[in-house]
Amino acid sequence: MAKFNKLRFASVVVILAIINIMLFTITNFIFLAVFSTEATEIMPYFFGFWGCEVVVLAAKRIFGESKTKTTAIKEKGDNG
């Protein structure tokens, strides 16, 4: 049950990141079309924050799976 909740939380964070980045990009395009200027000061921070969130979740999932696979292999080797 705990693993299901962790995967569900990770999925929600990734979906939230994608939606926020899409809305931010669309808003910037509208801002550029109306005012002919870009909002460049906040863009790196916004994309950096959501990019780091997604990378951390992906790293947790990758290293968590490899750790469980390694322990499963060791247990099989110890038994037989």
pLDDT band for position 55 (50/70/90)?
A: confident
Render pLDDT for 10-39 as a digit per residue (tens, 0 to 9).
Answer: 788 888 888 988 998 898 888 888 988 777
Q: Give the residue extent of every domain in the chain.
A: 2-79
Distances (CA, A) of 16 to 22, 50, 60: 10, 9, 18
Phi, psi of 61 (to 5 degrees): -70, -40
Burial class of residue 65 (count of CB atoms within 10 Å of its CB; 0-12, 13-18, 19+): exposed
Tokens of 35: 């005012």
